[in-house]
A = this chain, B = another copy of it.
Amino acid sequence: MTAAAAAWDRFSDLYLTHDELGISVDVSRVKFEVADLEALIPKMNDALTAMQKLEAGAIANPDEQRMVGHYWLRAAEMAPDPNLSAAIVQTETAIRQFAERVHSGQLEGSAGKFRNLVVVGIGGSALGPQFVAQALGKSGDAMKVHFIDNTDPRGIDDVLASLKGELGRTLVVVVSKSGGTPETRNGMLEVQRAFSAGGLPFHRHAVAITQFGSKLHATAVDEKWIEVFPMWDWVGGRTSVMSAVGLLPMALQGLDTAGFLKGAAQMDEWTRLLEPLRNPASLLALMWYQATGGKGLKDMVVLPYKDRLLLFSRYLQQLVMESLGKEFDRQGNKVEQGIAVYGNKGSTDQHAYVQQLRDGVPNFFVTFVRVLTDRDGPSLEVEPGVTSGDYLDGLLLGTREALAEKGRDTITLTLREVTPSAVGALIALYERTVGLYAELIDINAYHQPGVEAGKKAAAGMLALQQRLVAELNESPRSAAELADAIGEPNRVEAAFQILTHLSANPDRGVLCEAMDSPSATRFRAG
């Protein structure tokens, strides 16, 4: 048999496809023999069993004593408690009805029918909605969606400036599971101020998505916001796009939430298959293990050849890296796990960094995402018999060849079309792949203990700022002198950084002299 015939057989044998979803998975270009996987298969069978327990309501996130229920969001009947099932169904219905009231104008803003939507949220409360809005949105949607996903004052001002004169027809959805995320709280307060400044009643424009009983819930009730939609403790932020967090913005934008959920449910069914090499999620997880040595030795480069899927790699950065990037395994051994994810879109990235992928450091594997349908309607021929879409697909296939020639591993996912169903299915595929891979490497994929350290250190910085500002007077003093004066001689550098920031903002009352060297720099009130 020739090498090409062997490659075709390998491709055909390993190929998985789901006709109704229009999704197929090809791992033939990852270097492995089925025999190599033998040691992993028993582990994968255990992982599939663990996933069954998780779906049945086990405490799969023991550190936080929580169930992991995002699979129920698209199959409410699977939830282990009829109250949960009912809550899921009721929330979906409430979202659909709410969007109808907004679209019909029955519910309107202080200046008329709502036509703009601002989602205030960060991390899991933004990345999913952003990915979906871009993948499925189009000009002419029911509402134009904007995101405030940071505590950057200039960034917030830019979003608000783009809504100049439109606030009276703008609906604001504030999303925070805990209700205590400071970036989101700050974004909400800044938006609220813009409404006040325009003489508009914020509460008539505001909706919250949060856990019942949270601070945000209390605010929304106190201030008589239009509505509060629930988040649940058994849905993690990075898997919340099929809860109200993702569904409400989608429905308001006019996108097909039912199709989105159905695609995910179909993918869930497919990925429950107990045959590790015929289940696309377990196959992908095995490939991740094979490509990265089960230790994150290689980066995952995600290259969708479709503009609408540009944000998919950002979405996966969170889903994969926050889930897998853990210091300890579940036995308490220090393992420093994870897989780094990056990528934008092809063929654009071929003109950016594919040079390095082909010729440079071989520290990655590629996942191509291919979309077969080029556009609605017929295409122009840019050369006789050739369209722009033929070029796009040819460039993907050509790059896949060029990487194979150099021994770089590639996986190819093919979608028939970027539909709500396909996007839902894609998300579901990766959610389960991450879960199964986490079982293989024995880590808790559902907590994020490392995020706390940065938050605590930030709170420490703000507390230090307050004390420094209180200490400042009209005499210029160095960072070292000021740190000493407040009894924090070990925090000179932090004092310097904080005061430098304040002094760059004229409204903060801090003056700075002699910037050439940090130790020579003096600060005073003024």
Contacts and interface: CB of A to CB of B under 8 A. Distances in A.
A360 B338 contact: yes
Nearest to A161: B139
A346 to B, nearest CB: 8
20 contacts: A5-B490, A11-B518, A15-B517, A123-B350, A123-B352, A151-B392, A152-B307, A153-B375, A190-B382, A193-B380, A237-B351, A318-B352, A325-B353, A336-B359, A336-B360, A336-B361, A355-B451, A390-B501, A391-B458, A402-B450
Interface stretch (A77-85, A180-188, A262-270): A180-188
Contact of A372 (B158, B390, B500): B500
Nearest to A457: B398
Contacts of A455: 350, 395, 398
A92 interface: no
Contacts of A450: 354-360, 402
Interface residues of A, number: 155
A360 to B, nearest CB: 3
Contacts of A490: 2, 4-5
Nearest to A24: B515
Contact of A189 (B317, B357, B380): B380
Contact of A348 (B8, B149, B378): B149
A492 B391 contact: no
B457 A401 contact: yes
A394 interface: yes
A113 interface: no
Interface stretch (A243-251, A420-428, A461-469): A461-469
A127 interface: yes
A147 to B, nearest CB: 10
A317 B352 contact: yes
